């Protein structure tokens, strides 16, 4: 049961709910023992304590210090819109070589942080603001649109680099006007976020293309331009949807719904390997603690040792980036502080009034000193250990054994948690990073070996497997980012602090391009065009699969020079094959739609290959030898 609660806790918005469900069950079981009456009384007492806490907090939050997240929510929406507007403009500047990678990376990081903060505040505001709760559907649609805009901008950035050698303003005559309109929409959204009515409505604008000048381009350049046009049109729809959602939220008089709202990407259910590992770890922690209680005579803490191990275990296994050693300092400080109060202050008190003053003073001091979110762990430990060591009851009994027993119990708890950090698998950040890389390329290996270059539909089982691997590919790239802050660069001699983030960024790009590649394979293709190119596509696919298989065993084995040379040869071969095919077929006999679909497929293969080359370039100077070392610090 606790394993199930831990699994749900690791991936749910209701993390605290599942945490309470898990540790309260352990607390009731361990306190009750084999006495069913005691179990009932303990459960009722726990319910009363929780109910009293909720009632007290609600009264304070409603009557004394009412808190509403609406103001903070509007502020972060304005910040997010401004950041996305700057990032969008920077994305358009890429086509003219007017921006640099550092600017894009900084804005991308700011956007990611703003999106995370927006999600947190929206969840909070739905609970404490009637206005936000009433319009929660519109707010959720706006959230989906912002996430979609993030994805579309990432896809455009990959496309824009292929247009740097082209005169985009000649090929797309109204490119400047089109991009200016998209930028202006985000400015209008920012205006509405501050409760100001926009001075104009968004204009519908069509992206024109100069067909005559396009004919003079190579086929791969035409492919890049066709993809760029598709990306820009998708950005147009997404920004329009954003404007519609915000105007509905702010109740401005604008009801134009000509463009459909952005659909959310559906996710299929699959057991998450990372969350399953958390389940295995918490069950192992509980078994070690429970067997110790049975077989170690007079173990410090008794049933409380099992309870504490379970509580701390649920917290740590769902945040594996937090090392057990990080608990030592706040835990020691909390025990020392609570012990001093228990030994030198509490014996001199004789009334409820003095106890009340003490409780208020200690609580206020701890909450004041550890008020920032980063100090949340220290605050929780300080409050919990003070109440645990104080052992307030009638009659009150003081004993130095309470302090020593509690100290030893938590030392044993840390030992059990430390064991789970290395068994069954090591949670050393560098080794976790390598495991995730291998898992990432195993997904790539499967996907690249199951590409279909025709529009023939795959079976339902095959479609399920593809979606599963694509979904896991994105998840792994996100997990890699979460492990970056805890990797100790000093242990990797010769590796700079910028290299690993760039490596992860290249993998995130590869995940996006792989998704686009599979999207492109779903387009209908002209048999007369696709058949002569099948051998070239097969060779390209074989190379991608071979590289991925090699990287799944050794993520450091990629050689960007060799890969780049192979890519250039493949592009040249495919370019010639396509040229010969079109000359034989006659371009007028092939519909524009089929040419665009083929160009999309060619561009997708090319961008996937380029993303792998970028990854290989970043692996050269990373100290992979020390990444594989076993360390217990």
pLDDT above 50: residue 257 = no
- Average pLDDT (329-348) is 91
Region 366-379: mean pLDDT is 85
Q: 197 falls in which pLDDT band (50, 70, 90)?
A: confident
Contact (Cβ atoms closer than 8 angstroms) between residue 539 and residue 577: no
Instruction: Report the C-alpha gap between 52 and 46 in whole angstroms.
Output: 10
What is the reported pLDDT for 284? 95
Given a cut of 80, whether residue 567 has pLDDT beyond it is no
DSSP codes joined into one string, 143-185:
HHHHHHHHHHHHHHHHHHGGGTTS-HHHHSTTHHHHHHHHHHH
* pLDDT at residue 262 is higher than 50: no
How large a percentage of the chain has pLDDT more than 90?
17
Read out DSSP for 253-268? S-----SPPPPPPP--
Which tokens in the block code for residue 316?
Answer: 């740590």
Q: What distance in Å separates the CA atoms of residue 452 and residue 43, rounded to the nearest whole number? A: 58
Question: 170: pLDDT confidence band, cut at 50, 70 and 90?
Answer: confident
Which pLDDT band, with edges at 50, 70 and 90, does 337 fall under? very high
pLDDT of residue 259: 42
For the chain, give the mean pLDDT. Answer: 82
Average pLDDT over residues 542-549: 86
The pLDDT score that the predictor gives to residue 558 is 73
Biggest CA-to-CA distance, the chain: 101
CB contact at 8 A, 105 and 505: yes
pLDDT at 363: 93
pLDDT of residue 265: 52
Whether pLDDT at 281 is above 90? yes
What percent of the chain is modeled with pLDDT above 70?
A: 88
Distances (CA, A) of 319 to 80, 423, 560: 27, 16, 35
pLDDT given at position 339? 93
569 CB contacts (<8 Å, ≥6 apart)?
none
* Mean pLDDT score, 30-54: 86
Greatest mean pLDDT among 38-47, 53-62, 212-221, 406-415: 406-415
State the pTM of this model. 0.79
Place of tokens 């996937």: 608
Between helix 400-420 and helix 376-390 the angle, nearest 10°, is 140
- Rounded to the nearest 10°, the torsion over CA 158, 159, 164, 167 is -160
Q: Which pLDDT belongs to residue 278?
A: 92
pLDDT higher than 50, residue 168:
yes
Region 141-153 average pLDDT = 87
Question: What would the pLDDT profile of 209-234 be if each residue is shown by its tens digit?
Answer: 877 887 777 766 776 787 788 888 88
Rounded mean pLDDT, 178-203: 84
586: left (phi over 0), alpha (psi -120 to 50) or beta: left
Helices 15-32, 36-59: inter-axial angle, 10-degree rounding: 140
User: Would the pLDDT of 459 be above 80?
Assistant: no
Place of tokens 């009293």: 52
Least confident residue range of 29-43, 287-301, 531-545:
531-545
């Amino acid at each position: 049961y606790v394993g199930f609660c831990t699994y749900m806790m690791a991936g749910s918005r209701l993390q605290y709910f599942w945490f309470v469900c898990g540790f309260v069950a352990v607390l009731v079981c361990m306190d009750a023992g084999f006495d069913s009456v005691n179990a009932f009384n303990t459960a009722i007492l726990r319910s009363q304590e929780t109910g009293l806490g909720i009632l007290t907090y609600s009264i304070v939050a409603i009557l004394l210090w009412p808190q509403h997240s609406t103001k903070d929510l509007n502020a972060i929406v304005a910040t997010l819109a401004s950041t996305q507007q700057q990032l969008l403009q920077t994305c358009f500047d890429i086509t003219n070589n007017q921006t640099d990678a550092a600017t894009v990376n900084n804005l991308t990081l700011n956007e990611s942080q703003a999106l995370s903060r927006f999600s947190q505040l929206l969840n909070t505001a739905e609970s404490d603001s009637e206005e936000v709760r009433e319009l929660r559907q519109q707010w959720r649609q706006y959230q989906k649109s912002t996430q979609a805009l993030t994805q579309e901008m990432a896809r455009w950035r990959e496309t824009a680099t292929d247009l740097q050698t082209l005169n985009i303003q000649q090929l797309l005559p109204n490119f400047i006007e089109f991009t200016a309109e998209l930028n202006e929409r985000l400015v209008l959204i920012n205006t509405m976020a501050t409760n100001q009515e926009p001075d104009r409505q968004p204009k519908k604008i069509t992206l024109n293309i100069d067909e005559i000048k396009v004919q003079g381009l190579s086929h791969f350049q035409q492919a890049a331009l066709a993809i760029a046009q598709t990306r820009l049109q998708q950005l147009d729809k997404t920004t329009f949807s954003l404007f519609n959602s915000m105007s509905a939220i702010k109740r401005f008089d604008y009801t134009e719904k000509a463009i459909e709202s952005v659909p959310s990407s559906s996710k299929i259910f699959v057991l998450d390997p990372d969350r399953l590992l958390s389940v295995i770890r918490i069950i192992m922690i509980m078994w070690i603690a429970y067997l110790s209680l049975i077989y170690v005579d007079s173990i410090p803490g008794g049933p409380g040792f099992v309870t504490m191990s379970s509580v701390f275990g649920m917290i740590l296994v769902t945040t594996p980036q937090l090392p057990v050693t990080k608990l030592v300092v706040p835990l020691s400080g909390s025990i020392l502080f609570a012990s001093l109060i228990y030994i030198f202050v509490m014996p001199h008190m004789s009334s409820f009034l003095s106890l009340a003053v003490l409780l208020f003073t200690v609580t206020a001091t701890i909450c004041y000193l550890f008020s920032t979110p980063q100090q949340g762990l220290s605050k929780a430990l300080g409050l919990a250990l003070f109440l645990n060591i104080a052992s307030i009851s009638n009659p009150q009994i003081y004993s130095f054994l309470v302090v020593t027993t509690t100290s030893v119990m938590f030392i044993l708890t840390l030992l059990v948690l430390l064991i789970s950090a290395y068994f069954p698998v090591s949670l050393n950040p560098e080794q976790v990073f390598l495991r995730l890389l291998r898992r990432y390329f195993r997904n790539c290996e499967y996907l690249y070996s199951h590409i279909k270059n025709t529009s023939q539909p795959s079976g339902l089982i095959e479609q399920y497997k593809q979606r599963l691997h694509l979904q896991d590919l994105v998840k792994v790239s996100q997990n890699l980012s979460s492990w970056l802050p805890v990797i100790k660069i000093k242990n990797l001699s010769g590796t700079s602090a910028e290299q690993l983030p760039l490596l992860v960024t290249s993998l995130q790009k590869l995940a996006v391009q792989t998704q686009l590649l599979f999207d492109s394979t779903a387009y209908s293709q002209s048999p007369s065009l696709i058949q002569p190119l099948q051998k070239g596509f097969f060779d390209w696919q074989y190379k991608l699969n071979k590289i991925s298989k090699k990287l799944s065993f050794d993520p450091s084995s990629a050689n960007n020079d060799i890969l780049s040379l192979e890519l250039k040869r493949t592009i040249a071969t495919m370019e010639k094959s396509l040229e010969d095919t079109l000359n034989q077929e006659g371009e007028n006999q092939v519909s524009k739609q089929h040419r665009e679909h083929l160009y999309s497929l060619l561009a997708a293969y090319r961008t996937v290959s380029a993303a792998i080359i970028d990854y290989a370039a970043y692996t050269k100077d990373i100290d992979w030898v020390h990444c594989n070392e076993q360390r217990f610090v």
